[in-house]
Structure 1
Amino acid sequence: MKLSSDNSSTEHPNANDDNPFNKLRNSFKTYGIAFLLDLARTFRKMDKTNENQISRKDFTATIEEKKLLTKAEAEEVLSDLDIDNTGFIVLDDLIKKLKVPIPRIRKNTIDAAISKVDIKKNGLIPLSYLEEIWDGTAQSYIGEDKTAEERKALYLDILKKDAAHEDFVTIEEFTNLHWIQSNLTEDDADFILTMRQAYDLEPEPFLTVAGSEYADDLGGPRRFSHVSQDSVSRLSRPRESMVNENQSISR
């Protein structure tokens, strides 16, 4: 799988400007695959009463402690998050806004994986089931020099680290992990093929459409990206040919 060095094909408009919010949500380039998963978990744990909010003070302290922004930059971000000056931030809104938009075709792929792994349809994904089905053959983003089994162990460790629960991950956590995987992956076809292989997904008609809207998880498209004819051809292949395709991607 090709990882993007500058994320030029996957980042949102104005991603390279000096806006503190853009700087914050592009921190995945420095902190890697678990950035959004870990940061969202940190914020969720601060919500002791499960009211889906944290204080401005807690937000600023966390961002400063993790050296993601200066105090002044954090205050600027807060002006966008707490526009009514309530002193609190809605966590669902914060986590959505921390996501760098990805092509709609990739969001659909993540949703297809969720549909498969949320086996009880209760929003809780059993880690035992992920351990059973997840295939690390092509998942080079976990470690290019690792075997499939070593990658599986690392994948499970990432999901378990600092988790508030032992036996499952939430849909939000699962999505956050693969959202950053998408941000780190240069090519639409590479991302979709590795996700298919990891979770043994069947190709779906929507995955073979050339041209895709950007999804920012805020309820609407941002812009369009081009999916090459070669990518369309690769995505249209039956699942039986996928393993060889992904093995070549991982090398």
Structure 2
Amino acid sequence: MSTAPGRIPADEGVRRRTRAEVWIVLGLSLGQSAVYAAVSLIAQLTQGPLRDATATLNRSQSDRQWLDLTLQLLGIGFALVPVALALYLLSLDRDQPGPLRRLGLDGSRPARDVMWGALLALGIGLPGLGLYAIGRSLGVTAQIVPVPDSTYWWTIPLLVLAAVQNAALEEIVVVGYLMTRLREFRWGQWTVLLTSASLRGAYHLYQGFGQAAGNFVMGLVFGYWFQRTGRVLPLVIAHTVLDVATFVGYALLAEKLGLR
């Protein structure tokens, strides 16, 4: 089939637009986070060893309670915009099912999704604790503080919301959306899987090499699950459970365990 001089074939035009779309979505979300995480790691390495570094998650945004709550809620809400964008862009593919069904977010089998989500959380969480301890002992992982210094009556509900936001953003964008788009580029199964897992590891670099490696492995497990089942919802559930256990568990037990 011939085309007019200088005219891009339809299929190639679609691929170019899709590539641009992927770069935009990642640039607005976790691709941007990966760049900042790499810069943060370099900055820390030029200051001193990683064993002396601290990575604070969910840090306070203000010393005024109402403003801190407002800013943190805004941060959670705006962090979900790339999720909405990814789902919207997938909905434009007219020859495909709706994005919730396409990514296995449709809630069509809630009991099985919850069961598998809990099992995945258990399978990832326990080895993750061991890897963190090993990373700290080797000096390749920063000390992770999952909660802010100042806590209020709304801190724990907000930590739960933050856990849900993290899970939705990472699993829907980095697993569901990205792996779906990369398959459309006719990339091989392992190339797609390694790309998704590498991105997950990269945006955790600010926590040190140990946590980046651990999240890379988590990305391999979660990505492989999506390739085999086509369902992201169990991954969102698993990630939420992991983060809630980390955030809320630390908030409730840190002082008793002498961590704060």
Q: Same fold (TM over 0.5)?
A: no
TM-score (normalizing by structure 1)? 0.31
TM-score (normalizing by structure 2)? 0.30
Report the structure number with the largest CA radius of gyration. Answer: 2
Higher strand share: 1
Higher helix share: 2
